[in-house]
Amino acid sequence: MSLFNQAQRPRRKANSDDNLIPLINIVFLLLIFFMIAGKIEQIQDAGLTLPENSQTKPAIAQPITLQLSKDNEIHLNNEVVSVDALPEALSTLLQEHPANIAVRADKRVTYQDLDKVLVILRAAGFSTINLFTLTTESS
Amino acid sequence: MSSLLLPQRRKQSISLTALIDVVFILLMFFMLTSSFTKFSAVEMQSSLAASVLSDSKPQLLRLSVDGQLSYAQVALGDSAALTDAALSSEFDASMPTVLQPAAETQVQVIVDALSRMKVLGFTQVTLGKLRPQANAIVGQK
């Protein structure tokens, strides 16, 4: 009997930290999930609701982004630009970057307003225009 | 010698409270900054690039406010909505194609039409200019 007692390891004193271990396990799991699954990116939102689509290909970030809100307010790389000042602003940007542009238009914008912007973009010499959409699950 | 002078240190385990403080701060940071929205894009050739790619005249398609595609050459009242099968048989997918949306068409409808064309294999789709006469007819309706 005494032998058995000797063989048994002495019990560690209960530590208040022991209770934290399951908590830390879960918090670490959450941390790893958000680190891997999430993507840190600049939020570009001028109150836009982008059109939804399930079949378009993943977007590639473009150096020039033009946002067209429901009220026809134009943001060029997060700066408000009027329609009249747009050609000049685009020509200075075009000198620095290749001829691709991302257009983020609100889904309620009508074509007559979008066309005004597209005409200016064509005149500025952009060869490819990427119309951004939100990816939804295909049903 | 030095071991004699220095007081003997007891082996101390690291307090977990400090660790969890830091981990919580990291967790908050990643929870607040990360985003899970996925963006995609519909690519359009501008008319500038399309004209370089091909000398031939582009095919014209009209897009109505409710998202129906029809022949652009036919008068607005006569044109019936084209089905997917009609689109692939009547039009050449490798040729440059110009969509002419009506003035009041919303971007959501245009994006749906563009992605429908992409699925059917049309590679060079672009948006055409507004036609003033088409607007007039839409306005009368």
Q: Is B51 on the interface with A (CB under 8 A)?
A: no
pLDDT tens column, B32-91: 888 887 788 887 776 655 555 556 677 888 888 888 888 777 665 566 777 877 777 778
A43 lies in some domain: no
pLDDT tens column, B19-49: 889 999 999 999 888 888 778 888 777 665 5
Q: Is the pLDDT of residue A66 over 50?
A: yes
Domain boundaries, chain B: 47-135
Are the C-beta atoms of residues B124 and B45 closer than 8 Å to each other? Answer: yes
A21: which chain B residues are within 8 Å (Cβ-Cβ)?
16
Question: B47-135 has which CATH code?
Answer: 3.30.420
pLDDT tens column, A88-136: 888 888 877 766 788 888 888 888 888 888 888 888 877 778 888 888 7
Q: Is the pLDDT of residue B126 over 70?
A: yes
Instruction: Give the phi and the psi of residue A10 in degrees, each rounded to 5.
Output: -65, 135
pLDDT attached to residue B95: 79
B47: which chain A residues are within 8 Å (Cβ-Cβ)?
122
A58 lies in some domain: no
Domain range enclosing A84: 64-134
Q: Is the pLDDT of residue B139 over 60?
A: no
pLDDT attached to residue B140: 34
Mean pLDDT of A39-55: 75
Are the C-beta atoms of residues A82 and A74 closer than 8 Å to each other? Answer: yes
A19 lies in some domain: no
Task: Determine the residue type at A55.
Answer: Q
Mutation pick from A24, A30, A55, A100 vs chain B, by most beta carbons of B within 10 Å, is A55
B97-101 vs B125-127, strand pairing mode: parallel
The confidence band for A14, taking pLDDT boundaries of 50, 70 and 90, is: low
Distance from CA of B19 to the nearest CA of A (A): 9
Number of domains in chain A: 1
Listed by number, the residues of chain B in 112-131 with a beta carbon closer than 8 Å to a beta carbon of chain A are 112, 114-115, 118-119, 127, 129-130
Are the C-beta atoms of residues B106 and A108 closer than 8 Å to each other? Answer: yes
CB contact under 8 A, B105 and A57: no
Distance from CA of A120 to the nearest CA of B (A): 11
pTM > 0.80: yes or no = no
